[in-house]
Structure 1
Amino acid sequence: MASTGERDGTGGTDGAETAAGTAAAPAERKASWRLVGPGIVVAATGVGAGDLVATLVAGSRFGYTLLWAAVVGCLVKIALAEATGRWHLATGRTIFDGWRSLGAWTTAYFAVYVTVWGFVYGAAAMSSSALPLVALFPGALGLKTWAILCGLAGLAFVWFNRYAVVEKIMMVFVGVMFVVVLYVAVRVTPHLGDAVTGLLPVLPDGSLLYTLGLVGGVGGTITMAAYGYWVNAKGWTDSGWMRMMRLDNRVAYLTTGVFVVAMLIVGAELLHAAGTAIGSGDQGLLDLGRILEERFGAVTAKLFLIGFLAASFSSLVGVWHGVSLLFADFVERTRAARAQGTGGEPPVLEVARGQRERSWPFRGYLLWLTFPPMGLLWLDQPFGLVIAYGVLGAFFMPFLAGTLLWLLNSGRTPRQWRNGPLSNVMLAAAGLLFVVLCVQQVRELPW
């Protein structure tokens, strides 16, 4: 087995035990708070500016009423990320390797998805990171120039650094976000009694879509599938690291929960009570910055913009690194399958730790995320591209939840690490939730 615990192949069929299931169990490592890291990276990447705005708007419209949905959302993400990490550690195979074992349709979907999604997301991430810089340094540079500089900064940082450095900078971003968001939440003087009441599951009129969005949206992107790759990059390569991975995952999404609750408090106290509306998308955070300046002064507004920048740029760095790892694995395993042909057992594909980050598919996808999307900064997104991006993006989370249920209840996973009743319930609930959100997103597209 490779030093990263990764191997190639289509795996076994349902009911057939994997080789990992018959091997001697590795020694269990002690879980330590000092080793927490990959979960923070995936959570920080998944919580972008758009997610913070969605939570803020929910608070501004319904006060604390939907606080319970934010809590449920964190539990759903813990279940999804745990399942992804468990697959990597229990089987020694990557999530893309698992998808390949389910049939050629998964490879076809991923190939189209990762191409279209990366093209559109690259422009969105650069623009999102540029917005707070324009507000922090008015008149210095235009939005497009800042966006290009952010994209180039992300490219250079990921190109020349390995996972260990990426993890450290993401820890810094999370620290900034944590301090700033909590500071703003405290400044607006939350009513703790109302907040506790919001933990009771209630659906006010017109709140269904906001509720589903809170449960399914915050911290949930393609980077959840990258969690297993970051786990392996950390050096956690077998089931002996299972306890550590679970601690890491829970700490990460509890931190995410704090972000969500804090932004809901800001929306409830600062906007809902005053009946103030903000713009949609990332522009809503700039609107909030202006409101904070009017109420609390320039220092608080500047601090909030710094937190906005940390949220946006951490998502950019995380995607540039994590999705490039996914794409590199996709290319490597597709090439290995073609070289092998149709007969015999699939060859073992060994990938040394850190080697994938230096590969040409990894760096090629980095370039794809950075340079072609810059053209979209000057153009309205083409109609057909918007449709394709919306449909493919909406389908990804149901795809992830469904395939994890399939993989972790079959002979592809060693028996002791297959899903238990709780994992099955959580993944099935997540799958149903994401199907509803998928249908809603597709309905809202400008057909």
Structure 2
Amino acid sequence: MRDPNTPTAARWRYIGPGIVAAATGVGAGDLVATLIAGSRFGYALLWAAVIGCVVKIALAEGAARYHLATGSTLFQGWRSLGRWTGWYFGAYVLVWGFIYGATAMSATALPLAALFPVLPLWGWAVVAGLTGFLFVWFNRYLVFEAAMKLLVAVMFVVMIGLAILVAPRLPEVIAGLAPRVPQGSLFYTLALIGGVGGTITTAAYGYWVDAKGWRGPAWMGVMRLDNHVAYIVTGLFVIAMLIVGAELLYGAQVALSSGDRGLLDLGDILAERFGRPIAIVFLLGFAASAFSSLLGVWHGVSLMFADFVAHSRGTASSAEGEGSLPFRAYLLWLTFPPMALLFLDRPFFLVILYGAFGAFFMPFLAVTLLLLLNRRDMPVEGRSGWLSNGVLAIAALLFVALCGQQLWELVRG
């Protein structure tokens, strides 16, 4: 496990951090956004989902490449750009974590409440939050990775199986790979490109690479394979949901509820068309998707926060990771204060706030990666080429536009 210089075929057994990133990044919000895009525009925006995966490959690969090439964490790189990055990240991660904690618990509770109506929605949300909290508190990375792989397996079988079940029209699927923007679809196009596969968790990928024990430039090849596999899996999830939206909803012009509740509507449609057992299987896949996102953030962003605190204090060491006091403090912050928001019983309101705050991070990540990966002191192995720089520059512009769009939508109400 500790020899990166193996043939490509043998590197497949190392795959792990990328699967964690994929499971974390593809949450219920991504699935419902893709489903609604398919229900409104058929296969016309399929190309945008594919482009979104390419963009996130570049961002996650850049973050992990910085870790491996320099031996430093991404937050150390941010600090080298100026103290403002520390203030930005510190304020962002506290506000975002409070909102995301409630959002993740609510999203996980929706399918559980539908499957097992023995508790109210807020009750299942509390159960989901406490389960994630206890699991991450008492386990380390390798156990966490194994659990995430299991959840991804459930998601993959359910979502891909569902796409096959609805019998997609392959000529139209292929035609959807040709870029076009139907009238009224600009926002959905940008959201598909920018929303596939996570926000702050894209930056967490480098921390999971480090937790896996991959350190030094020798692991670049393994990391890239791992990252590519992750976003191929992500792409398949998103394409599967777009197919379901296009085949089940587009022709019938069925409208879904806003936010994650749209997936519950899909469960009802599946029950009506294919029977209750298929709907139950889908709800299990929905629950696996939502809970994997919760677990991933509980672990990955807590690692980032621990690194932030350590370097802010000037006391960074190998002990400032899993199980450290800052790690556990942020885990507590994600779990317990956000429970107060659960009693608002407005999951969609939380999704809007999460999206708005999430939009702030991606422009920051893309711009800072461009700066860090092109510095003169960056080792040759870590420097960006023209292709990486081009994708990162396009990503930066895209996320600035998305940030403005989401803020406008929030202000406009």
TM-score (ref. length: structure 2): 0.95
Give the drift of 1:391. 5.2
Whether contact under 8 Å (2:24, 2:198) holds in the other structure is: no
Match of 1:90 in 2: 69
Match of 1:51 in 2: 30
Amino acid at match of 1:417: G
CA distance in 2 between counterparts of 1:197 and 1:78 reads: 24
- Choose which of 307, 312, 316 in structure 2 pairs with 1:329: 307
Greater mean alpha carbon deviation, residues 287-296 or residues 393-402: 393-402
Amino acid at match of 1:362: F
- Choose which of 292, 313, 318 in structure 2 pairs with 1:314: 292
Unaligned runs of 5+ in 2: none
CA distance in 2 between counterparts of 1:117 and 1:359 reads: 21
Whether contact under 8 Å (1:30, 1:244) holds in the other structure is: no
Whether contact under 8 Å (1:155, 1:370) holds in the other structure is: yes
- Choose which of 193, 202, 207 in structure 1 pairs with 2:171: 193
Whether contact under 8 Å (1:116, 1:388) holds in the other structure is: no
Match of 1:440 in 2: 405
Match of 2:330 in 1: 365
Q: What secondary structure does 2:56 align onto?
A: helix
- Choose which of 374, 394, 400 in structure 1 pairs with 2:365: 400
2:231 corresponds to 1:253: yes
Whether contact under 8 Å (2:362, 2:399) holds in the other structure is: yes
Q: What secondary structure does 1:372 align onto?
A: coil
Match of 1:375 in 2: 340
Whether contact under 8 Å (2:55, 2:391) holds in the other structure is: yes
Give the drift of 1:389. 6.0
2:142 corresponds to 1:175: no
Give the drift of 1:390. 5.8
Residue correspondence of structure 1 range 30-429 to structure 2 within 5 A: 30-31=7-8, 32-138=11-117, 140-336=118-314, 349-351=316-318, 356-379=321-344, 392-429=357-394
Give the drift of 1:379. 3.1
Q: What secondary structure does 1:444 align onto?
A: helix
Whether contact under 8 Å (1:390, 1:442) holds in the other structure is: no
Aligned residue pairs, count: 407
CA distance in 2 between counterparts of 1:386 and 1:219 reads: 16
Give the drift of 1:426. 0.6
Give the drift of 1:411. 2.4
Whether contact under 8 Å (2:103, 2:354) holds in the other structure is: no
CA distance in 1 between counterparts of 2:265 and 2:64 reads: 38
Whether contact under 8 Å (1:46, 1:219) holds in the other structure is: yes
Give the drift of 1:214. 0.7
CA distance in 2 between counterparts of 1:388 and 1:296 reads: 35
Whether contact under 8 Å (1:63, 1:268) holds in the other structure is: yes
Q: What secondary structure does 1:240 align onto?
A: helix
Q: What secondary structure does 2:411 align onto?
A: coil
Give the drift of 1:263. 0.4
- Report % sequence identity: 65
Q: What secondary structure does 1:201 align onto?
A: coil
CA distance in 1 between counterparts of 2:29 and 2:307 reads: 28
CA distance in 1 between counterparts of 2:356 and 2:239 reads: 29
Q: 1:30 to 1:411 in 2, by over 3 A?
A: farther
CA distance in 2 between counterparts of 1:198 and 1:56 reads: 15
Amino acid at match of 1:170: M
Give the drift of 1:173. 0.6
CA distance in 1 between counterparts of 2:352 and 2:167 reads: 42
Q: What secondary structure does 1:205 align onto?
A: coil
Q: Could you report, residue by residue, the CA deviation over 1:92-145 in whole angstroms, capped at 9, with x for unpaired residues? A: 00000100000011000111101111111101100100110111112x111111
Amino acid at match of 1:312: A
Greater mean alpha carbon deviation, residues 431-440 or residues 371-380: 371-380
CA distance in 1 between counterparts of 2:352 and 2:392 reads: 27
CA distance in 2 between counterparts of 1:77 and 1:280 reads: 25
Q: 1:53 to 1:81 in 2, by over 3 A?
A: same
Amino acid at match of 1:57: I
TM-score (ref. length: structure 1): 0.88
Q: 1:27 to 1:51 in 2, by over 3 A?
A: closer
Whether contact under 8 Å (1:28, 1:239) holds in the other structure is: no
Whether contact under 8 Å (1:29, 1:244) holds in the other structure is: no
Q: What secondary structure does 1:68 align onto?
A: helix
Amino acid at match of 2:336: F
Amino acid at match of 2:27: G
Whether contact under 8 Å (2:22, 2:234) holds in the other structure is: yes
CA distance in 2 between counterparts of 1:275 and 1:376 reads: 34
Bigger Rg over Cα? 1
CA distance in 1 between counterparts of 2:307 and 2:161 reads: 40
Q: Could you report, residue by residue, the CA deviation over 1:47-93 in whole angstroms, capped at 9, with x for unpaired residues? A: 00010000000000000111111111111111111101100000000
Unaligned runs of 5+ in 1: 5-25, 338-348
Q: 1:190 to 1:130 in 2, by over 3 A?
A: same
Whether contact under 8 Å (2:122, 2:345) holds in the other structure is: no
Q: 1:369 to 1:102 in 2, by over 3 A?
A: same
Whether contact under 8 Å (2:111, 2:284) holds in the other structure is: yes
Give the drift of 1:185. 0.7
CA distance in 2 between counterparts of 1:155 and 1:118 reads: 14
Residue correspondence of structure 1 range 10-49 to structure 2 within 5 A: 28=5, 30-31=7-8, 32-49=11-28
